[in-house]
Structure 1
């Protein structure tokens, strides 16, 4: 019985093209050039799987740099690489060092059982995590078959009744559902105050608990909660993509570039002036201080693979950026097409020194990687637990909460505006689909069914009187009061008691 896979064996490294030799312990002759030749221009990092013998696996190297993993987003690459490493290590420990190209159907079935059901496995995964792991192996072995490395995939699949798609036999039934969570606004505010701003459970400030990057973290959390952006979208924004007020408008719009959007689907996002102000304050104070520190230390001159921006012209999807690499080569490209890897290397020269275009920076002024936000949120949730506040928040949870808030708000606006009565419920059900489609478009989903099925479970079967009724004495807005009531009745929305007033 296997408790974990902590013994020596397969390791996963992330190599940077500009410092390729320094990222790995050793490279077999030809492997470094093979990896470099296979890289896309501007790709920031790629996974390298080091086998038990201490050498990179050549086939997996091709899969990562020239194969089917190559076009995936950096976030997907990271997730798939971790899943594949777990599989490789499982074969090494549980299957007496069996090579991944020699694995059979029984191995994958045993692995799936161990990873999702084996009680002795302390690292079990469920739902979406389990489904993603299977998808990683389907991709890997599909590529291996296409390359002629194997005759058949060890991942058992069957065709759907319609015959249009294949599904894995091991697919978990709770995929897409297990880890969906929601937050009320007051729970979100409490989590920020305790997790980032140094307050205790009673709302009293504790300066010793203040997080040094408080302004950045609060601004990012507000951005996700207020816009529904994915972590990889909000985390890869450039400072020039933040909406700029032109008057007294309460709501401003920005663009999610296709280069960082899921499915490369460009869309609009909307941000209230109050939430924009926290981003502006971060840029003006905390971020400016970090940039000053980096310039004082000369960090930007040593930034690997830096790209110096010499001009940005146009607007919207037609905005074009011109930049020059370290060899003096000049590139003109639509800003909308830049992926996270290129974005993190963009610098502009100002009278005060170098300035990164990447919005979110570390304390030392360097780009804060998108994946690092997970740890930042985990640390904030841990501070809440220590303070006695039972809240556990992830970046994606803020997206779910935005979806719920927007749906309830849109429903209430429609119902109150039309004065719908019980006799008109049939007509309402016919028109209700337009509200779902609105939320789908705001979230950037490919299908309205994704919005209905996975993001908005707390409002299934809602009665009209619940949508039209709000607690009159609630200190929050009417929509927030409705969501709090949904939470109390469904048990699916995280909420906290109101803070006592002095």
Structure 2
């Protein structure tokens, strides 16, 4: 009986299981073979990024713990829809329980459990050693409007777990208040702006954190992709593109990524100021001397097709294109006669910053902005939930609109031409697909076409002049689509 909810530690991993794969253990150290199979072989689960896999696994563990603590303990395969409804009440009814969760957190549990049971039903997994196969999913299908006896599967009056599209002005508000600790003032209904320093707010690593979020917002890279880069892999001065190694790219497929000159200058400031200070601090405190598994690199050289390889001090050559994030954090070299990590992003102590740790930075910034908004009379609907995916999607939407506009100008299309089914913009979606690293162009088209198509053609392009910026375009979107967030009113 899996009656606890904890992930296995590194020392508890079963043989043959790849480190980092979520594995759940009971208080007695027991494994559930079907959950192990799900975590290691279900394509829908294994295709998630590491942080999402961990989040889903913890939600499944909470569910197993709930079932195991019943007066008549149940295995997860024995659960019914009534059990799910009881669980929903236990986790979301704040009138009865003090330790309930927000609707967005509850929705993550719904998604995690629904996917698990869909997989179990498709595999016809038996209920017990000699029992019949599971035949139905105890988690009701559908979204917020789906009613189940005694409750709903999803909370209906909450946004999704993240805000997917954020206008530039609102991003800067989030960044300056949440990451820099600036003050805030309300300037109208559902509108705020920064207002000087908030002396009561103490933030750490503000330069590094703001440079990272600016970087993601301007390149569309995923958090693992951006967070695993090495200094040597950044574009050289005057170059706007670089190769993203396959080992840190989703689907293990290398691709090009693009960096505007302004982004390169911002990165350079971080490297020369914030990062350099962290390295000096580490050397002064002897932090690098205490690391046992350092891989010392004596040379970095360009390999085939734009990727790099490194030469260790013992002469061994390693390809960066196939090097995973964990190994990358072990790479060190000498720069200006001083030892330092090759990793781009460092913590305060000067050691490599794990890419999964960025989620905590985003969560803290969300909490800080919400506290400021709430203190000025903001309503629950004004809460902003920014994630690395939010910044990535916002970049992609702006890129999609800009490419639409350019293609429009090339062919002389104007507001008198109906938008149509979007097939004439296939070139746009193929380009965005390549930049984002989507698996197929259909994914890109299905994500962004509805948002573009739902707006009037002249709203998108006809009223825009040559000086219209991406900021203007995405801000105009926010006036039409509630899913695109704008807390500043004009996007500026």
**Which residue number corresponds to residue 433 of structure 1?**
426
Q: How has the CA–CA distance of structure 1 residues 445 and 110 changed in structure 2, closer, same or farther, with 3 Å as cutoff?
A: farther
1:49 aligns with 2:41: no
Paired with 1:368 and 1:84, the residues of 2 have a C-alpha distance of 28
**Which residue number corresponds to residue 411 of structure 1?**
404
Paired with 1:65 and 1:306, the residues of 2 have a C-alpha distance of 34
- In the TM superposition, what is the alpha-carbon distance from 1:143 to its structure 2 partner? 9.4
Q: Could you say what the CA RMSD is over the residues aligned between the two structures, in angstroms?
A: 4.0
Paired with 1:360 and 1:375, the residues of 2 have a C-alpha distance of 15
- In the TM superposition, what is the alpha-carbon distance from 1:276 to its structure 2 partner? 1.9
Indicate if the aligned counterparts of 1:68 and 1:140 stay in contact, CA closer than 8 A. Answer: no
**Which residue number corresponds to residue 496 of structure 1?**
487
> CA offsets, 1:316-365, max 9 Å, x none?
554223447xxx8x754321112222222222244543311222221112
Paired with 2:337 and 2:73, the residues of 1 have a C-alpha distance of 57
Q: How has the CA–CA distance of structure 1 residues 135 and 155 changed in structure 2, closer, same or farther, with 3 Å as cutoff?
A: farther
Question: In terms of mean alpha carbon deviation, does 300-309 or 393-402 score higher?
Answer: 300-309
Question: In terms of mean alpha carbon deviation, does 235-244 or 137-146 score higher?
Answer: 137-146
1:82 aligns with 2:82: no
> CA offsets, 1:184-203, max 9 Å, x none?
11111121112122322253
**Which residue number corresponds to residue 393 of structure 1?**
386
Question: In terms of mean alpha carbon deviation, does 278-287 or 330-339 score higher?
Answer: 330-339
Matched ranges for 1:29-178 at <5 A = 35=14, 37-38=15-16, 40=18, 43=19, 45=20, 47=22, 49-52=24-27, 55-58=28-31, 63=36, 67-68=40-41, 74-94=50-70, 96-99=72-75, 103-104=77-78, 107=79, 109-110=81-82, 112-113=84-85, 119-120=92-93, 122-123=100-101, 125=105, 130-136=110-116, 154=134, 156=136, 170-173=140-143, 178=160
Indicate if the aligned counterparts of 2:332 and 2:340 stay in contact, CA closer than 8 A. Answer: yes
Q: How has the CA–CA distance of structure 1 residues 342 and 110 changed in structure 2, closer, same or farther, with 3 Å as cutoff?
A: farther
Matched ranges for 1:459-498 at <5 A = 459-469=452-462, 477-497=468-488
Secondary structure at 1:358's aligned position in 2? coil
- In the TM superposition, what is the alpha-carbon distance from 1:477 to its structure 2 partner? 4.6
> CA offsets, 1:258-305, max 9 Å, x none?
212222222211111112211111111111111222222222233354
Which of the residues 312, 336, 359 maps onto 2:321? Answer: 336
Indicate if the aligned counterparts of 2:296 and 2:332 stay in contact, CA closer than 8 A. Answer: yes
1:12 aligns with 2:1: no
**Which residue number corresponds to residue 24 of structure 1?**
none
Indicate if the aligned counterparts of 2:282 and 2:288 stay in contact, CA closer than 8 A. Answer: yes
Q: How has the CA–CA distance of structure 1 residues 71 and 489 changed in structure 2, closer, same or farther, with 3 Å as cutoff?
A: closer
Paired with 1:173 and 1:276, the residues of 2 have a C-alpha distance of 42
Which of the residues 354, 361, 366 maps onto 1:381? Answer: 366
Secondary structure at 1:481's aligned position in 2? helix
Matched ranges for 1:264-279 at <5 A = 264-279=252-267
Q: How has the CA–CA distance of structure 1 residues 336 and 458 changed in structure 2, closer, same or farther, with 3 Å as cutoff?
A: same
Indicate if the aligned counterparts of 1:470 and 1:482 stay in contact, CA closer than 8 A. Answer: no
Q: How has the CA–CA distance of structure 1 residues 426 and 393 changed in structure 2, closer, same or farther, with 3 Å as cutoff?
A: closer
Which of the residues 252, 266, 286 maps onto 1:298? Answer: 286
Indicate if the aligned counterparts of 1:256 and 1:269 stay in contact, CA closer than 8 A. Answer: yes
Q: How has the CA–CA distance of structure 1 residues 235 and 455 changed in structure 2, closer, same or farther, with 3 Å as cutoff?
A: farther
Indicate if the aligned counterparts of 2:121 and 2:136 stay in contact, CA closer than 8 A. Answer: no
**Corresponding residue pairs, total:** 447
Indicate if the aligned counterparts of 1:198 and 1:205 stay in contact, CA closer than 8 A. Answer: no
Indicate if the aligned counterparts of 2:475 and 2:490 stay in contact, CA closer than 8 A. Answer: no
Q: How has the CA–CA distance of structure 1 residues 213 and 444 changed in structure 2, closer, same or farther, with 3 Å as cutoff?
A: same
> CA offsets, 1:163-186, max 9 Å, x none?
xxxxx98554479x9445211111
Question: In terms of mean alpha carbon deviation, does 182-191 or 386-395 score higher?
Answer: 386-395
Which of the residues 338, 343, 353 maps onto 1:368? Answer: 353
Question: In terms of mean alpha carbon deviation, does 277-286 or 457-466 score higher?
Answer: 457-466
Which of the residues 171, 179, 188 maps onto 2:171? Answer: 188
Question: In terms of mean alpha carbon deviation, does 445-454 or 279-288 score higher?
Answer: 445-454
- In the TM superposition, what is the alpha-carbon distance from 1:218 to its structure 2 partner? 0.7
Given the two structures, how large is their TM-score scaled by the length of structure 1? 0.76
- In the TM superposition, what is the alpha-carbon distance from 1:114 to its structure 2 partner? 5.0
Question: In terms of mean alpha carbon deviation, does 67-76 or 435-444 score higher?
Answer: 67-76
Paired with 1:500 and 1:63, the residues of 2 have a C-alpha distance of 47
Indicate if the aligned counterparts of 1:46 and 1:64 stay in contact, CA closer than 8 A. Answer: no
Question: In terms of mean alpha carbon deviation, does 230-239 or 451-460 score higher?
Answer: 451-460
Indicate if the aligned counterparts of 1:224 and 1:395 stay in contact, CA closer than 8 A. Answer: yes
> CA offsets, 1:353-403, max 9 Å, x none?
331122222111222222222221121122222333844322211111111
